[in-house]
Structure 1
């Protein structure tokens, strides 16, 4: 299977328009379309980040000891 890279665009109707004509004729082809991703909204990204348990290690740890716990260590 051979590959050809060619630029194009998709019009308002969803049709693929190529910038140049192809040299191959009367062939069945497979088309893979690569396009730029749209930017993710910063607020949505930050909201999902703060609710993701994978980042819990960044949160401040609760204070589990007090000054009255244990015995003083004098060396």
Structure 2
């Protein structure tokens, strides 16, 4: 697998637009998005990204569901 470093931006529809066109056509690619630290993602954006990340697919396995509502004790803010 080859790696390319490019820059771009997200348009008002949320689509990624590259600063320079590539000569790659009709081919699927993997994309890693690096966001500058000064731009914080909202909680909703993080939750959406995490929920669609295949790295967490194992959590859908029945074997990983080891807790129930009867486990543990309720949390309170009191000290």
Measured against the shorter chain, the TM-score band is 0.3 to 0.5
TM-score, scaled relative to structure 1: 0.46
TM-score, scaled relative to structure 2: 0.44
By percentage of residues, which structure has more helix? 2
